[in-house]
Structure 1
Amino acid sequence: MNLTILGCYAATPRTFTNPTSQVLEIKNRMFLIDCGEGTQVQLRKNKIKFSRINHIFISHLHGDHFYGLVGLVSTFMLLNRVNDLHIYGPKGIKEVILLQLKLSNSWTNYNLYFHELESEGSEVVFEDEKVIVKTIPLKHRVYTNGYLFQEKTGDRKLNMDKILNLEIDQCYYQKIKSGGDVVLESGEVIPNSIMTFDPEPAKSYAFCSDTLYNEDILPIIQDVDVLYHESTFLESEAPLAGKTMHSTAKEAATIALKANAKQLVLGHYSTRYESIEKFREEASTIFQNVLLADDGKSFEF
């Protein structure tokens, strides 16, 4: 599971920082999460192939999280994209993107699908044979969702020494990997447990963008492998965090601790601070495994 941070700062772009956007690679799928201004430039800088992006997840309709979207949609068209593109986001995202395409006479030459979200509860928004994506309802000034990306448990791994010793025909291999037992010609039942090893543990990633401290999300993200949680402010600006419906580094760490997350990644920093290291220092007083997102930084989990 790989995470590339394209941008992770709050509010406005600067010459050396970018608003929120990141790419998650999980089970050979690539998902773009949020799309602030400059996203397509950051994709190029980080040598990420545009053609691999087929699903874009937008948390909410504040500009620093989606103002780069129509530009990316248009660039896909100029690159003669043929793959379908699916966009997930709050109700209204279809209207705002299609209006821009209409007024600029820039209709796409590929299929563009919008999945508009309105539910106040968690719901599955994407699922295939390897990955499932659920919303994480957040508390912000406008309707906002985070997203939980979960690998599905893979096939069991064959114990080839045992299988070859039992002279089990290859036609049974898929059944065995799927958890099935095998009945030999003699009538003996060979239990799956002695022919296989457990699959690799399924990984999970939770993206929690702009939000007040909100313990309601804990059942959804419980035991997550990696939690990205916004930390716009330090505790010294806690009143401002409450007023603007954002979180502090300590609050993000508290959520990670209560969720029993294995790893916390902080981001969405206010640009008022000279050093983001202060966010790690503050969060580490609550939760030990803290990483700092930064533009262009990649993590492998």
Structure 2
Amino acid sequence: MSFELTILGSNSALPTSNRYPTAQVLEVPGFCFLIDCGEGTQIQLRRNKISFSKIRHVFISHLHGDHYYGLIGLISTMNLMGVKSDLHIYAHSELKTLIQPQLDFIRGDMTVKPIFHPLNFKKPQLIFESKKVEVLSFPVKHSIPTCGFLFREKQKPANIRKDMIKAYNIPIAAIKDIKAGADFTTAEGQVIANVDLTIPASKPTSYAFCTDTAFYPANASILNGVDLLYHETTFLEELKELARKTLHSTTKEAGEMATLSGAGKLLIGHFSARFKDISRFVEETREVFPNTEAAIEGRKYTI
């Protein structure tokens, strides 16, 4: 299974003329997930030709404005378009309190029905699950309660070897258990090990979103082996003291986190507006983790 990530916003709190606050769309078979919803998100959805009506799940990492100020505008536009659906919003429980007065002010009947799901900021939590995909939230280290999100394909069962079915006359009724890990016992009492009967399924696809956070190596075990890790790099290494003070990360800290996590690839973003040239962010991060790219508005990344 492949995922496709589209960057809508890559900047930190202050937008620039060409970088928007944080927002991303992750498309997996059957779902279109919106991750954070900074100001300007709906404009970026239009520019990238992503249908509003496809969005059914929104994940808000925390309640700093650059991560959710675009949400009420998005809901309002979806309502004006006549989108008729539930909109599941995974966020801090206070988000509903913050935007409910604005929802109440929308005139006429709401065609979009927001459904709020509170996050757990003390431990990892499975917050969404379908037959093929699951989403895990996990706490990160920031100045207010904040969660990262891990999107992953469910592990597929092993593939049974057709030559083994024929060789041992394996009945159809036994195949399901063998694919789930069981051994097989022949009519003569011979036990055939599962490892000899099956071919392991391909590694599940995964994507992790980590913003805003200080360097927090405790999460490396949660992110272990992730295919693509998005990690904030608000500051270059020269401002590491400011990063510590504000509980953000530097380039090299993001690279170290990718290394500790055994990530396949690192995508960096949440750039401070004080830096016009983000090439330095990539250069510094690659000193620690070579397979690094910058999150760029409008760019798509296939996982």
TM-score by length of 1: 0.89
Shift in Å at residue 110 of structure 1? 3.5
The aligned residue for residue 93 of structure 1 is 95
Shift in Å at residue 17 of structure 1? 1.5
The aligned residue for residue 121 of structure 1 is 123
Question: Which deviations, in whole Å up to 9, do the C-alpha atoms of 1:195-251 show, x marking residues without a partner?
Answer: 543211112211111111222222222222221100011011112222222111111
Q: Pick the aligned partner of 1:22 from 24, 48, 54.
A: 24
The aligned residue for residue 232 of structure 1 is 234
RMSD: 2.5
Contact 1:101 1:107 in 2 (8 A): no
Contact 1:91 1:118 in 2 (8 A): no
| Letter of the 2:11 counterpart | Y
1:46-61 counterparts in 2 under 5 A?
Answer: 46-61=48-63
The aligned residue for residue 43 of structure 1 is 45
- Larger CA deviation: 196-205 vs 291-300: 196-205
How far apart, in 2, do the equivalents of 1:257 and 1:15 lie?
A: 33
How far apart, in 2, do the equivalents of 1:217 and 1:125 lie?
A: 17
| Letter of the 1:252 counterpart | A
**SS at the partner of 2:296?**
coil
Contact 2:152 2:204 in 1 (8 A): yes
The aligned residue for residue 70 of structure 1 is 72
The aligned residue for residue 205 of structure 1 is 207
Shift in Å at residue 107 of structure 1? 5.3
The gaps in structure 2 that reach 5 residues or longer are none
Shift in Å at residue 297 of structure 1? 0.8
**SS at the partner of 1:247?**
coil
Percent identical among aligned pairs is 44
The aligned residue for residue 221 of structure 1 is 223
Question: Which deviations, in whole Å up to 9, do the C-alpha atoms of 1:264-286 show, x marking residues without a partner?
Answer: 11000112112111011111111
The aligned residue for residue 269 of structure 1 is 271
How far apart, in 2, do the equivalents of 1:172 and 1:193 lie?
A: 15
Question: Which deviations, in whole Å up to 9, do the C-alpha atoms of 1:39-87 show, x marking residues without a partner?
Answer: 1121121122222221110001111111111111122222222332110
Contact 2:209 2:229 in 1 (8 A): yes
**SS at the partner of 1:55?**
strand
How far apart, in 2, do the equivalents of 1:35 and 1:28 lie?
A: 21
The aligned residue for residue 4 of structure 1 is 6
Contact 1:74 1:106 in 2 (8 A): no
The aligned residue for residue 104 of structure 1 is 106
Shift in Å at residue 177 of structure 1? 4.7
Quick one: structure 1 residues 300 and 181, their matched pair in 2 at CA, closer, same or farther if it must change by over 3 Å? same
The aligned residue for residue 154 of structure 1 is 156
Quick one: structure 1 residues 189 and 251, their matched pair in 2 at CA, closer, same or farther if it must change by over 3 Å? closer
Shift in Å at residue 289 of structure 1? 1.2
How far apart, in 1, do the equivalents of 2:76 and 2:174 lie?
A: 49
Question: Which deviations, in whole Å up to 9, do the C-alpha atoms of 1:173-203 show, x marking residues without a partner?
Answer: 6566555667889998876655543211112
Quick one: structure 1 residues 175 and 216, their matched pair in 2 at CA, closer, same or farther if it must change by over 3 Å? closer
Question: Which deviations, in whole Å up to 9, do the C-alpha atoms of 1:74-103 show, x marking residues without a partner?
Answer: 222222223321100112111122111112
Shift in Å at residue 156 of structure 1? 2.8
TM-score by length of 2: 0.88
Contact 2:142 2:248 in 1 (8 A): yes
**SS at the partner of 2:85?**
coil
Quick one: structure 1 residues 148 and 240, their matched pair in 2 at CA, closer, same or farther if it must change by over 3 Å? same
